Amino acid sequence: MSKNQKIKIRLSGRNIYTDKKNRTIYYDGLTKQGYLIEKKDENKIVFFKNRIVIILFAAILCAGTFLTWPQAALAGVLLFALVEIYYRTSFFKKLQPVTDVDFEKRVSPLQSILAHKSKERTLALAVLYALFAVLIVANAYLEQYSLGLMILSVGLGIVGLYFCILHVIALTRMK
């Protein structure tokens, strides 16, 4: 089997499963419904899975540049609501529902990294996530953000540190 045949899809995480036919399924816990994810839908699901972190990051950047803290919080909440409404009323309706989700076959992020990334790329990502974690907190400190923005920045730093550690663990398990 060639490398291109082996790598079908790059999704992994808490709500990503594979069924008995080796298809990738996104399970929405709110609606208790599984959806078949095809290659063309990957990027939209990646955004949906990471929507909270992306919106928090955007809110922090806005609050640090041209919006006040309450305005950025309101913009973040509104953006989150718009994203949820779009995905639940439009995007998920276009996907094929799946009723037989196999909850035993969850694809973990570590498995995905080991299967789909080279050692060099994994090392580069570990370094970049570590830099992100340090720089987001350093930026908040140097810009003298308010307590709320400082907490959000530290939260994003912790997320960056988590992904750094995940990639370091993957590096130690690679051949």
- Note the pLDDT tens digit of each residue in 84-108: 999 888 888 888 888 777 666 777 7
Residue 61 pLDDT level (bands cut at 50, 70, 90):
confident
- CA-to-CA distance for 99 and 88, rounded, in angstroms? 18
In this predicted structure, the answer to whether residue 137 has a pLDDT above a threshold of 90 is yes
User: What's the whole-number mean pLDDT along residues 20-24?
Assistant: 77
Q: Which residues pair with 18 in a beta bridge?
A: 24
More confident residue, 10 or 88: 88
**Predicted local distance difference test score (pLDDT) of residue 10:** 65
Global pTM value: 0.64
User: What's the whole-number mean pLDDT along residues 113-119?
Assistant: 81
More confident residue, 120 or 109: 120
**41: Cβ contacts below 8 Å, ≥ 6 apart:** 95
- How many Cα atoms are found within 13 Å in the side-chain-facing hemisphere of 50? 15
Question: What angle (nearest 5°) sits at the alpha carbon of residue 87, between those of residues 107 and 37?
Answer: 35
Q: Is 4 exposed, middle or buried (0-12, 13-18, 19+ CB in 10 A)?
A: exposed
Average pLDDT, the chain: 83
User: What's the whole-number mean pLDDT along residues 148-152?
Assistant: 83
User: What's the whole-number mean pLDDT along residues 139-159?
Assistant: 87
More confident residue, 154 or 6: 154
Q: If you write DSSP's letter for every residue of 104-140 in order, what string do you get?
A: T-B--HHHHHHHH--HHHHHHHHHHHHHHHHHHHHHH
In this predicted structure, the answer to whether residue 135 has a pLDDT above a threshold of 90 is yes
Best mean pLDDT range from 5-9, 21-25, 49-53, 169-173:
169-173
Q: Which of 152, 44, 17 is nearest to 160 (CA)?
A: 152
User: What's the whole-number mean pLDDT along residues 17-38?
Assistant: 82
Best mean pLDDT range from 3-17, 69-83, 96-110:
69-83
